[in-house]
Amino acid sequence: MANLVVIGTQWGDEGKGKIVDLLTEQASIVVRFQGGNNAGHTLVVKGEKFIVHLIPSGILHKKKMSFIGNGVVVDPEVLISEIEQIQKRGIPVSPKNLALSEKAHLIMPYHRLLDIARETKMGKQKIGTTCRGIGPCYEDKVARRGIRVVDLLDRKTFLAKLRTNLDEKNFMLEQYYGVQPLRRAKIAREAAGWAEYLGPFIKNVAGLIGQAADKGRHILFEGAQGTHLDIDHGSYPYVTSSNPVSGTVCAGAGLAPNRIDAVIGLVKSYTTRVGGGPFPSELKDKAGRHLRNRGQEFGSTTGRPRRCGWLDTVVLKESMRLNGVDYLAITKLDVLTGLDELRICVAYELDGRSIRYIPADLAAYYRCRPVYETLPGWKQDISQARDFSDLPPATRRYLNRISKLTGAPLGIVSVGPDREQTIILKNPFPD
């Protein structure tokens, strides 16, 4: 296998950063293919924490290339800041190891302002976005009025697009949201700085990926968010503005479907969700507090506390189908240590009947009640386990039950935040 896709199977925050960082050891290139800086990947290497939002998690590895694909929406100020912050930590970031797709779309200042204004106006009915401008940017992309990265390299084209877009956005901001308009001259000056700084990074990323694939180089594709935040397949409208499913690699990075060799589905050993939307297995008791506190379940982008609950295999089964998962990567297993018993949601009860699917009707989804299986917990510290046999019997039973219920074999098990705290059952890359 040469081209591997890593996706989240829940509502995001499954620990993609660590797993991608781990797999990058054997990859030549790491590609981010969708989303924006509304997602944060937390990496812990030798006890030191790194948080990346736009730059692929593989940037911490020497002699590896990191690509930001055309399916990503890029806030240039955030990207520049992230590059500089990583460089300050002693990690080299330059056009030699980071490339930005010329076809990616830019998150502009008016996108951020619109995002905030909308959420504010909706009040209690708000979606719970990160207010980073991601949704409004994707709107302009689909409406064919977006500003792309390549436009930074042509000042005349950029200014013409900026004038057209800002006239419309300022009208909305002033007349509908009651917000002060933005000044075109100020944005134009800022954009000149973006162009100068980012110009050397801008490349034909899809073409570079194709060339690398032709040479048989190992390529790792990472998405943002999780399957059930997918704009098409998630619990709409409490979703993100893009498609985090594995098939998006084809559009978001420019790779043909027949060149995807394997998909790894990340599964947090329990379930979390941020923002609004249905969450049948959510816990608001002592067990829920245990998961949040021990798992440090606070958003790496926003700092918001995450909603926590038992593992939901109805959600996981849907993800297996949508993504074609070949192997599971179980994360944060150590967080469950200390609980007397564990529960797994295996079905929902909806209006007196048992179902094993997610209703498209949001009102019906809210009425779903979890049907649980109960398994024994464990007290032993598992953070030093490096082989499956090192785990307590109750831990192995829990993992095997997840595999059976989802129909996918175990590939990787994480027993702690550090790179070394990992059990590899299946190496997805060839020797």
CA 82 vs CA 41, 88, 158: distances in Å:
12, 10, 24
Out of 3.30.460.10, 3.40.440.10, 3.30.565.10, 3.40.50.2300, the CATH code matching 3-95+204-424 is 3.40.440.10
- Which pLDDT score, from 0 to 100, does residue 1 have? 56
Lowest mean pLDDT among 13-17, 36-40, 291-295, 307-311: 36-40
pTM for the full predicted model: 0.92
- Res 187 pLDDT > 90: yes
Residue ranges of the chain that CATH labels 3.40.440.10: 3-95+204-424
Mean pLDDT computed over 244-258: 96
Question: Which regions of the chain carry the CATH code 1.10.300.10?
Answer: 105-200
Higher pLDDT, 117 or 232: 232
Residue 133 has pLDDT above 80, yes or no: yes
- Summarised one tens digit per residue, pLDDT across range 332-355 is 999 999 999 999 999 999 999 999
CATH code of domain 105-200:
1.10.300.10
Joined together, the tokens standing for residue 327 give 């192997």
> CA–CA separation, 332 vs 16, rounded Å?
11
Q: Which residues pair with 308 in a beta bridge?
A: 272
What value, to the nearest 5°, has the Cα angle with vertex 100 and ends 98 and 104?
160
pLDDT, position 301: 61
Does 228 participate in catalysis according to the annotation? no
pLDDT score recorded for residue 47 = 67
- Mean local confidence (pLDDT), 202-208: 98
Residue-averaged pLDDT of the chain: 93
Average pLDDT over residues 243-272: 96
Instruction: Catalytic residue, from 41, 53, 111, 233: name it.
Output: 41
Catalytic residue status for 41: yes
Mean pLDDT across the stretch 202-222? 96
Residue range 14-73, pLDDT digits in tens: 988 889 888 988 999 999 999 998 766 676 666 677 788 899 978 888 889 999 999 999
Whole-angstrom Cα distance, residue 429 to residue 3?
A: 8
Share of the chain above pLDDT 70, in %: 96
* Three-point CA angle 373, 411, 37, nearest 5°: 90
